[in-house]
Amino acid sequence: MNRAEQTALVWALTDSAKPILTIPARLWLHATIGAGDIDDALRELLAVLSKSRAPLEPELYLRVGFWVAGYSGSTVEATLVELMKCIPINGDACPPADQPLISR
């Protein structure tokens, strides 16, 4: 996933999470994104969405999965995958918990 795709993803997630974000949280996200720290903003959004169990649209969930796949083999991969498991998908497209988000 290139930088433009990450930026589009972080804004889409921010829009999706708007109903559950406080004003200070939204301001922090906007400042963080504006400063170019897309990865921190995405990780924070995943944590917020996971904690609140806020559902994502299937297409957005898939895009987040592709971003998480970029961390394959890193020290944060397991944390990101666990966060993803706690985010429901709107509709019936939710994969079973024992299936990987991205097949290789």
What range defines the domain where residue 72 resides? 3-85
Residue 75 pLDDT more than 90?
A: yes
Tally of domains within the chain: 1
Q: pLDDT-based confidence at 93, cuts 50/70/90?
A: very low
The C-alpha atoms of residue 28 and residue 33 are separated, in whole angstroms, by: 8
Tokens of 49: 């969405």
pLDDT tens profile 44-72: 999 999 999 989 999 999 999 999 999 99
Domain presence at residue 70: yes
pLDDT tens profile 19-48: 999 999 999 999 999 999 999 999 999 999
Domain presence at residue 37: yes
Domain presence at residue 98: no
Domain presence at residue 65: yes
Look up the pTM and report it. Answer: 0.82
